[in-house]
Amino acid sequence: MTINYSQPCGADGNWQAPQHFVFPSPVLADWLQYPGSLTARLREHCQQFSIKVLYEGFSEIAPHEQLALACAGPYWVREVLLCCDGVNWVFARSIIPQSSLEGDAAAVSQLADKPLGELLFTGQGQRQSIELCQIAAASSIYQYADSSQPLWGRRSRFLLANAPLLVAEIFLPDCAAYRGDPGVAAS
């Protein structure tokens, strides 16, 4: 598997409100619509949680992302893999307008291998909206999946210290979202 560190993948698909979907399973629906921190939920499902940074820097974004973010660029883009016990479970893409990289929200550009979720689910973070999507089959996100099964994701617009940002989380095939009980794995 070749990982492209010089170009972001994007998160293309037909993003829509949750009520427009019929989900293939109640477990997947639960994961996609989960209101809390995905980072915290993933940590409950594994012994060791880790992050692999794939891309971080200023980049162009897709028109559907500009529309969802509703804020002018340039844009700081961060793409990571969220891993449980060394296995890729989630591809995450964060988009932050340069104007949001100032003041109290500036820490989002200095996360390194720390999860964004820890910043968003503090007293300063607020989810404004959520959209869901089945990722386009031609998406380069599939390079991180060990199969060609359909991938599902969610995208949220947040305010962090009153600064807007967009976060897409795509569940990869090994994620618990595609199997069994949505609850916490036994330790």
What are the two backbone dihedrals, phi and then psi, of residue 90, each rounded to the nearest 5 degrees? -140, 135
Q: What angle do CA 28, 32, 35 make, to 5 degrees?
A: 130
SS3 category, 171: strand
Known binding residue 169? Answer is yes
Known binding residue 116? Answer is yes
Known binding residue 56? Answer is no
Query: With b meaning 16 or more CB within 10 Å and e meaning fewer, what string describes 91-130?
Result: bbbbbbbeebbeeebeebbebeeebbbebbbeebbeeeeb
Annotated binding site: 78, 116, 169
Binding site, annotated residues for substrate: 78, 116, 169
